[in-house]
Amino acid sequence: MSAKDAPPPLPEPLGVPVADSHTHLDMQPGTVEEALARAAAVGVDTVVQVGCDLKGSRWAAETAAAHAAVHAAVALHPNEAPRIVHGDEDGWSRQGAREAGGDAALDDALAEIDLLAALPQVRAVGETGLDYFRTGPEGMAAQERSLRAHIEIAKRHGKALVIHDREAHADVLRVLAEEGAPERTVFHCYSGDAEMARACADAGYFMSFAGNVTFKNAQPLRDALAVAPLELVLVETDAPFLTPAPYRGRPNAPYLIPITVRAMAQVRGVDEETMASAIAVNTARAFDY
């Protein structure tokens, strides 16, 4: 392993413990116990483990049942929903999927998400949403149908909703307004500008900032963070993705949260403890734990 692929060193511990509101431990090397121990050593005492497909959602629920520091979120990722409908999974041909009825396959998968969402350690339904970056126009209908179904599941179970919004701000806000958003809705890896942050604030949506808020070219994101109400701000790694500067490109993990919290405190012009205390309270409120 070259130095540039090596895991970054442990940062200075936070004085006030916070949660990583969005991570994918199943995509990171090492055991869950190791990841949690490293995180706890630097003041990251809680993680929300997010499932992206049925297998990942089952794993999230199992992992949260086994570890008090882990809460689960379950869903079919917006890039997964069109794959189920169009039958790109399990070597189906698109033709075969059409014959089998792609919408029925999505309904079957959603029925299992619904069952998982009822479990007490599952605190959220997500990540769901719209992704116009990875999925082309042919997948948009499936994504939107899936998003609407996840909103309904979250509301019926009284769970938080975790939104993945990539290059789809206006449509995500529109669908949430049309369906009626759940009481607690989190925009994970918040990627809007200051104007959208004001719209999210008006609707009471939480905005969860990831390591990309530290990137040099991310001034619009920092402008959004600067105007977001402090009581709606969360932090996340989305690990293994989006490693904060100066470790961009190296593997991300929950123990790197303090770097992002410190950058966020700087943007807001508050001290680290103020930032961390707000995030800790906000995350517990968002995920009702």
Binding region for Zn ion (CB under 5 A) out of 115-123, 164-172, 207-215, 277-285 = 164-172
Contact segment (CB under 5 A) with Zn ion among 25-33, 102-110, 112-120, 121-129 equals: 121-129
Q: Cα–Cα distance between 255 and 117 in angstroms, integer?
A: 27
d(CA 47, CA 66): 13
Applying CB under 5 A, the span of 140-148, 162-170, 215-223, 247-255 interacting with Zn ion comes to 162-170
Q: Return d(Cα 49, Cα 70) in angstroms, integer.
A: 7
| Angstrom distance (rounded) from CA 237 to CA 235 | 7
Distance between CA atoms of 229 and 128, rounded to whole angstroms? 24
Q: How far is the CB of 112 from Zn ion (least distance, A)?
A: 19
Q: Which of 54, 69, 170 is nearest to 114 (CA)?
A: 54
Count of C-beta atoms within a 10 Å radius of residue 255: 27
Any idea what the Cα angle at residue 258 is, between residues 253 and 261, rounded to 5°? Answer: 115
Nearer to Zn ion, 128 or 282 (CB): 128
Q: Which residues pair with 70 in a beta bridge?
A: 47
CB of 172 vs Zn ion, minimal distance in Å? 12
Instruction: Quote the CA–CA distance of 189 and 95 in Å, as a whole number.
Output: 35
Comparing CB distances to Zn ion, the nearer of 45 and 238 is 238
* Residues 19-38 contacting Zn ion, CB under 5 A: none
Q: What is the DSSP letter of 71?
A: E
Q: Is the peptide bond before 240 cis (omega within 30 degrees of 0)?
A: yes
In whole angstroms, the minimum distance from the beta carbon of 272 to Zn ion comes to: 25
Give the nearest distance from C-beta 25 to Zn ion in angstroms.
Answer: 11
| Residue 188: CB minimum distance to Zn ion, A | 6
Among 164, 169, 184, 262, binds Zn ion (CB under 5 A): 164
Site for Zn ion in 125-154 (CB under 5 A): 127
Least separation in angstroms between CB 67 and Zn ion: 19
The order of strands in the sheet holding 122-131 is 18-23, 44-50, 70-74, 122-131, 160-166, 185-188, 206-209, 233-235
**Binding-site positions for a divalent metal cation:** 22, 24, 127, 164, 188, 238
How many beta carbons lie within 10 A of that of residue 48, not counting itself?
Answer: 30
Interactions with Zn ion, residue window 229-248 (CB under 5 A):
238
Shorter beta-carbon distance to Zn ion: residue 87 or 139: 139
Total residues contacting Zn ion (rule CB under 5 A)?
3
Toward Zn ion, which CB reaches closer, 45 or 127? 127
* Binding range to Zn ion, per CB under 5 A, among 85-93, 161-169, 179-187, 212-220: 161-169
- Cis peptide bond prior to 82, omega within 30° of 0: no
86 in contact with Zn ion (CB under 5 A): no
CB of 22 to Zn ion, least distance (A): 6
Choose the binding region for Zn ion from 31-39, 104-112, 124-132, 152-160 (rule: CB under 5 A): 124-132
**Under the rule (CB under 5 A), what is the footprint of Zn ion?**
127, 164, 238
